[in-house]
Amino acid sequence: MDFLGKILGRRYEIVEQLGGGGMALVYRAHCNCLHREVTVKILRPQYTCDEDFVERFRREAQAVASLSHPNTVSVYDVGEEDGIHYIVMEYIEGNNLKEIIREQGRLTLPVAVDYARQICEGLDHAHEKGIVHRDIKPHNILVTKGGRVKVTDFGIAKAVTSDTVTQAGTIIGSVHYIAPEQAKGEPGGVRSDIYSVGVVLYEMVTGKLPFEGDSPIAMAMKHIQEEPPAPSCLNPEVSPELERVILRAMAKSPERRYQTAREMADDLRTVLSGQISDATRIIPLGDCPTMVLPTTEDLGMAAAKEKENKPTRKRRWILAAVTLLVLGLLAGGLLGIGSLFVKKEVPVPNLMGLTEDEARRELTKVNLVLVVLGRQYTDKQPADKIFSQNYDPNQLVKENREIGVMVSQGPKLYPVPSVKNKPLEEAKLIIAQSQMVLGEITEEYDEEIRAGNVVEQKPDPEVEKEKPQGTKIDLVVSKGPTPQYRPVPNVVGLSERDAIAALAAANLKMAKIGEVESDKYFAGVVISQDPPATAEQTIQEGSTVNVTVSKGPGPAAKDYVLRIELPEDGQPHQVKVIIYDAKDPQGRTNYEQQHQGGEKFDVPVKFYGSGKYEVYIDNQLAQNASV
């Protein structure tokens, strides 16, 4: 299917094909909305028929979109259109690492180490997000013109599960870089990515792959069973420290590899100066089975010299006789003493968790020698117990071989910082500057501790003064005093301003959620509230009451006439009429005049909707009624 010129998502216009792998086609596209170049990866049609696979593809691609790191390619968008499933990513100007290796052969050590470090930095960020790549290879490593490494193809790699390791007789992912456990059909994990980085670094410093084979299955078996040639055999410039970093990353057992990409990045940051971690330093160096053969020129010179010194026939006869005699004498002797020079191979015992004395006794039983390479703070084993050995248990070695071990000093303890009664942000900073890490944060009401300050921490430095590095500190943060609950005031019929004031007096807030037309209430008057004002309804202080406000027009005016009669005392009286209705629920003075006692007169009034009136004579309520 030709996608050139097609516009996906009404914004991504396909411009040119950049390449493609077994699972997707890769295109350069132009985003017509943001006016920038992007990379669009389109799932090949044969995978779109598998609904489960497509769903995993979409779900994992969306998860990868959460990555944000200088050494990972950013994912901008994921979509589907007319059965076309695609991922939109950052466009990188540059080559992939495989192209660079093909062009340059082996890379200089500083460049190779820097590239590998950047790969580890990007993977560490992904692993912290719970995302495993599972298909690290130079083809998926992009290098910008400025030397910035970008790891790509997270989404598709993650969509492959353990039940899709093989398809149509081939192994998904490149078997040149696959970890042994993946080659066995097991699901790949963080340490599988680290193995693949080791293979990529091997290829960068030697210009060659560690294993070659006639078929994918043969290649996979080599990853499972064989040790690679030592990198220094192919490139003498590779230092012992760098070789140990590569061999540790490519260890057959995941437990013997770097446990995190961060650990490997830390070693790569200092390896060229000869500094590596103790756990890496104990890795045994590989053997160099190959020999340096003489060049054609050397062979020619040797032949000329042989011809120059060619013995006569007589000398040749004497030389042959002497040779046969010596060989005859040696043959019998070698048969008798040969066994003295052939050392027996024995399996290395498992020394993990043993003390030095216990390990020495176990090694003595099989004629091996214990060498303590160092002591290190670690939580892998209790103090004075062995936590690492440089030969795997049951690995065959010659008798009298020295077996190096690292002995635990137990976890290193650091002071627990005190953050009680400190603002949360300050507490976070103090913990970040310590050897501890921030744990779970919960909230609770506290009558004494100010809102936002730490009420309690675990571990408590007053009880446990020191803890191992990386201990989580859980915090309880104050929400302030326990809130009070108040009755909900009735604001229906009040203007917005009066409703706000009434609710504020009850320590509540108002939110206008809409306006509707009303024949009952004038514009700007509250016509409903939630929660309503009822005798049993209470609400927490600081809560919000949602109100709906009238847009009018409100009720029409109705004319009424009030008949007023004054007492016949001949005295002047002050008469006042107050009206309460939808227009003025708080009341308005409709009439106010002075009259003589005994007068009888009518007062015309207007009511807007239902309401009531009050008649006052000399400020004394004389009559009232609802209308």
DSSP designation for 151: E
Ranges of CATH 3.30.200.20 domains, the chain: 7-90
DSSP designation for 453: B
Of 535 and 615, which is predicted with more confidence? 615
Backbone phi, psi, residue 93, to 5°: -85, 115
Average pLDDT of the chain, as a whole number: 85
Q: How far apart are CA 16 and CA 12, in angstroms?
A: 12
Domain 7-90 has CATH 3.40.1360.10: no
- Predicted pLDDT of residue 155: 52
Q: How far apart are CA 584 and CA 76, in angstroms?
A: 58
Ranges of CATH 2.60.40.2560 domains, the chain: 557-626
Tokens matching residue 275 = 């500094």
Q: Which of the residues 77, 82, 124, 135 is marked catalytic? A: 135
Q: How far apart are CA 57 and CA 77, in angstroms?
A: 13
Tokens matching residue 267 = 């070693």
Q: What is 557-626's CATH topology?
A: Immunoglobulin-like (2.60.40)
Of 318 and 573, which is predicted with more confidence? 573
Ranges of CATH 3.30.10.20 domains, the chain: 345-408, 413-478, 485-553
Ranges of CATH 1.10.510.10 domains, the chain: 94-281
454 forms beta bridges with 477
Cβ neighbors of 392 (< 8 A, separation 6 or more) are 253, 256, 348
- Predicted pLDDT of residue 63: 65
Q: What is 485-553's CATH topology?
A: Trypsin Inhibitor V; Chain A (3.30.10)
Least confident of 45-59, 172-186, 299-313, 550-564: 299-313
Q: What is 413-478's CATH topology?
A: Trypsin Inhibitor V; Chain A (3.30.10)
Residue 303 pLDDT > 50: no
Of 25 and 305, which is predicted with more confidence? 25
Three-state DSSP class for 273? helix
* Residue-wise pLDDT tens digits, 368-422: 999 887 788 888 899 999 998 888 899 998 898 888 888 998 888 899 999 999 9
Does the annotation count 135 as an active-site position?
yes
Q: Judge if the upstream peptide bond of residue 553 is cis by omega within 30 degrees of 0.
A: yes
Q: What is 94-281's CATH topology?
A: Transferase(Phosphotransferase); domain 1 (1.10.510)
Helix or strand run (H / E) with residue 323: helix 313-341
The architecture of the domain spanning 345-408 is 2-Layer Sandwich (3.30)
